[in-house]
Amino acid sequence: MRHQFKGEDFLAFKDMTKEEILFITDLSLDFKKKWVSRESHEYLKGQVWAALFEKNSTRTRNAFERAAADLGVKVVYLRPDEMQMTRGEPLKDTARILDRYFDGLFIRTFGHEIVEQCAYWMKNPVINGLTALEHPTQGIADLMTIKEKKGKFEGLKMCYSGNLYNVAYTTMIFCATLGIDLSIACPKGLEPDEKILEETMKRAKESGAKIELTQDFDKALENADIVYGMSQYSMGQSEEEIEYLKKAFKPYQINAEAMKKAKSDAIFMHCLPAHRGEEVTDEVMESDQSVIFDEGENRMHSIKAILAAVAN
Ligand code: CP
């Protein structure tokens, strides 16, 4: 069991134990208390971190910048288009140079192998701000939100509707690890990443969580404590793929009728940004069941906890 993250990378839930996931979630909730009580927590004063975003971001980038400011960390924002890496400099050279200047790297990029390569070449910690495979800082914020709203993990049921991609994979791993039943509603033909599915099923066997992929949206919604909406397509997909996915996901829209099929006290979650009128209606987003802005705020507390835990 390893509760000490100091100096380590934070790359993916698939690499983390149940104890580690719970440790960071609880630490995030502690940091939220400090924020609410306005207790100063400049624990990392003097550190300087690099933030490299190869994709757009509203929540992750700003949550990281604010979390860092509260911890006393200066952030240097790196624009990929201004760096030599976009002119072909190898990642292993870029990573080793950044490692000489900064106390750590927060990175949002494309393939998961990119963050793994950064972690390999850097001695200082690397935090994954989203790859094609996982979105672990989102996962911790989601767990904080579930704990706040439902008070527990084990025995809950989540209905997930949306594209099978990074957020789905992180969600699959945390549900399987913590004993949350997960019913993923998606059209025929969509298959999750094989290795993530394998890891999910292995963990579900240990926790007793029931994990299923179904085309039956009503079945997925039945008895759900959490209805999780996710974009039907992802950044970087072609116009053709997007059109196909929009059509295929049409029957899986989370609207007021769908919410009625879940438990009456079910909460609606979404990592945002949402496409109102596509995967979810405006009515559901604005309803009392929606916890999306608490979830969004929790991005900051969770990133702060992750940063505090891994920083040297
Ligand atoms: N949920 C999330 O990662 O939001 P951003 O893309 O705005 O960072």
2-24 tens-digit pLDDT: 557 999 999 999 999 999 999 99
Q: Which domain holds residue 193?
A: 138-296
Overall number of domains in the chain: 2
The reply to whether 2 falls in a domain is no
Residues 44 and 159 placed together within one structural domain of the fold: no
Residue of 52, 54, 55, 57 to test ligand 1 pocket, by largest number of atoms within 8 Å of CB: 57
Ligand 1: residue whose CA is nearest its atom 6: 57
What are 45-104's pLDDT values in tens digits?
999 999 999 999 999 999 999 999 999 999 999 999 999 999 999 999 999 999 999 999
Residue 275 pLDDT class (50, 70, 90 cuts)? very high
112 lines ligand 1 (CB under 6 A): no
Q: Are residues 186 and 210 in the same domain?
A: yes
117 Cα: distance to centroid of ligand 1 (angstroms): 23
Rounded (10°) CA dihedral 291, 293, 298, 303: 140
CATH assignment at residue 80 = 3.40.50.1370
Cβ atoms of residues 226 and 174 within 8 Å = no
Q: Is 138 in the pocket of ligand 1 (CB under 6 A)?
A: yes
* Residue for token pair 């179904």: 214
Name the residue with the closest Cα to ligand 1, atom 1: 271
pLDDT band at 1 (very low <50, low <70, confident <90, very high): very low
**Nearest atom, ligand 1, residue 61 CA:** 8
Same domain flag for 158 and 278: yes
Residue 307 Cα to ligand 1 middle (Å): 17
Query: Is residue 58 included in any domain, yes or no?
Result: yes
Mutation test residue for ligand 1: of 65, 135, 272, the one with most atoms within 8 Å of CB = 272
Is residue 47 included in any domain, yes or no?
yes
Q: Whose CA is nearest to atom 3 of ligand 1?
A: 60
- The whole-angstrom separation of Cα 215 and Cα 48 is 47
- How far is Cα 221 from Cα 266, in angstroms, rounded to an integer? 10
Q: What pLDDT is attached to residue 237?
A: 82
Q: Which atom of ligand 1 is nearest to the CA of 108?
A: 8
Q: 150 and 285, same structural domain?
A: yes
